[in-house]
């Protein structure tokens, strides 16, 4: 049976650990100049409705470096733009390609594609979740902190798709996660309900950023207005006052705190310039690790699907 990656709740803890191990192995092999061509002859389709730098290039270079071939498709260049049913497009693409990564607005569209496809479908970002981002971010935490067990992770900012995926990861991995969001920008109740009651033993919500980052090993933030919310920016700038990740806020965290941001960053809004440009900052490792994690995801899903055929 084919496996999709639509949210991190699709994975078991062993799936996470296998992906971390494999991504780190692939990164080490790449650094040594050892080629991996395990997906030679395979094709990845990318349907992107939203703009992307890191996710798109990471998927494309990952597929190329594994010996495969990526095909980038904007929905405006396909019959989807002329109202072809998503299920019809999914069935046809399943006859052409070996895996599909989608980046779009409505999470229901990705689910519709996955339901009609015979190939693995990967959520490369929706308004609800960004699972691949968090997988590579935890990989970065493992590199910088030696692991994620017993580390306090603080989210400061909007209760958006990235934050939702952190809650999902915490649910499966038992992460010590605290999310500080303004009152009207908190994680939605259905996300918390889906995470399960057990997750709430180690996931906490607050409206106080200083409370969230107190003694935190990792502090994570993201833009205050995500793609599609730009017209709300002025209201959001007011709502998120006091939520900027800066040196004053980080003084409450652990001395060796790891600051993370999925990028692009808005300097002077959610993160201070001097924090983003601090020597040894992890942001660029985060971006690089997306490629290696995407390799691990593609290899796992495509080879598993071919084995099951």
The answer to whether 222 is a known ligand-binding residue is yes
Helix (H, G, I), strand (E, B) or coil at 44: strand
Q: How far apart are CA 97 and CA 120, in angstroms?
A: 10
The answer to whether 149 is a known ligand-binding residue is no
The answer to whether 145 is a known ligand-binding residue is no
Helix (H, G, I), strand (E, B) or coil at 267: strand
The answer to whether 19 is a known ligand-binding residue is no
The answer to whether 226 is a known ligand-binding residue is yes
Q: How far apart are CA 184 and CA 207, in angstroms?
A: 10
Cα→Cα distances 135→19, 105, 144, 176, Å: 8, 20, 15, 16
Question: Pseudo-torsion of CA 245, 250, 256, 261, nearest 10°?
Answer: -10
Cβ density class 66-95: b for 16+ within 10 Å, e for less:
bebbbeebebeeeebeeeeebeebbeebbe
The answer to whether 130 is a known ligand-binding residue is yes
Helix (H, G, I), strand (E, B) or coil at 36: coil
The answer to whether 52 is a known ligand-binding residue is yes
Contact 73, 47 (CB under 8 A): yes
140: left (phi over 0), alpha (psi -120 to 50) or beta: alpha
The answer to whether 55 is a known ligand-binding residue is yes
The answer to whether 103 is a known ligand-binding residue is yes
The answer to whether 79 is a known ligand-binding residue is yes
The answer to whether 120 is a known ligand-binding residue is no
The answer to whether 131 is a known ligand-binding residue is yes
Query: Which residue numbers belong to the known binding site?
Result: 52-55, 79, 103, 130-133, 161, 222, 226-227, 262-263, 290
Query: Which residue numbers belong to the known binding site for L-ornithine?
Result: 161, 222, 226-227
Query: Which residue numbers belong to the known binding site for carbamoyl phosphate?
Result: 52-55, 79, 103, 130-133, 262-263, 290
């Amino acid at each position: 049976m084919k496996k999709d990656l639509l949210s991190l709740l699709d994975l078991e803890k062993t799936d996470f650990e296998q992906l971390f191990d494999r991504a780190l192995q692939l990164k080490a092999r790449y650094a040594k100049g050892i080629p991996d061509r395990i997906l030679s002859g395979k094709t990845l389709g990318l349907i992107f409705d939203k703009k992307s730098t890191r996710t798109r290039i990471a998927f494309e270079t990952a597929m190329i470096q594994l010996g495969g071939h990526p095909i980038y498709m904007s929905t405006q260049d396909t019959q989807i733009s002329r109202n072809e049913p998503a299920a019809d497009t999914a069935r046809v693409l399943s006859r052409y390609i070996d895996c599909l990564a989608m980046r779009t607005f409505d999470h229901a569209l990705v689910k519709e594609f996955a339901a009609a496809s015979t190939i693995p479908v990967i959520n490369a970002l929706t308004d609800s979740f960004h699972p691949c981002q968090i997988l590579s971010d935890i990989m970065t935490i493992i590199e910088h902190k030696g692991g994620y067990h017993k580390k306090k992770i603080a989210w400061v900012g909007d209760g958006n798709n990235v934050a939702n995926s952190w809650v999902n990861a915490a649910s499966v991995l038992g992460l010590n996660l605290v999310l500080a969001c303004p009152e009207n920008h908190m994680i939605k109740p259905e996300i918390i309900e889906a995470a399960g009651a057990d997750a709430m033993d180690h996931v906490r919500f607050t409206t106080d950023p200083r409370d969230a980052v107190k003694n935190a090993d990792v502090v994570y933030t993201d833009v205050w207005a995500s793609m599609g919310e730009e017209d709300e920016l002025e209201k959001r700038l007011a709502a998120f006052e006091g939520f900027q990740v800066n040196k004053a806020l980080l003084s409450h965290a652990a001395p060796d705190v790891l600051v993370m941001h999925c990028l692009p960053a808005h300097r002077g809004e959610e993160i201070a310039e001097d924090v983003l440009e601090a020597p040894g900052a992890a942001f660029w490792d985060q971006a690089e690790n997306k490629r290696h994690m995407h390799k691990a995801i593609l290899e796992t899903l495509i080879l598993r699907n071919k084995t099951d055929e």
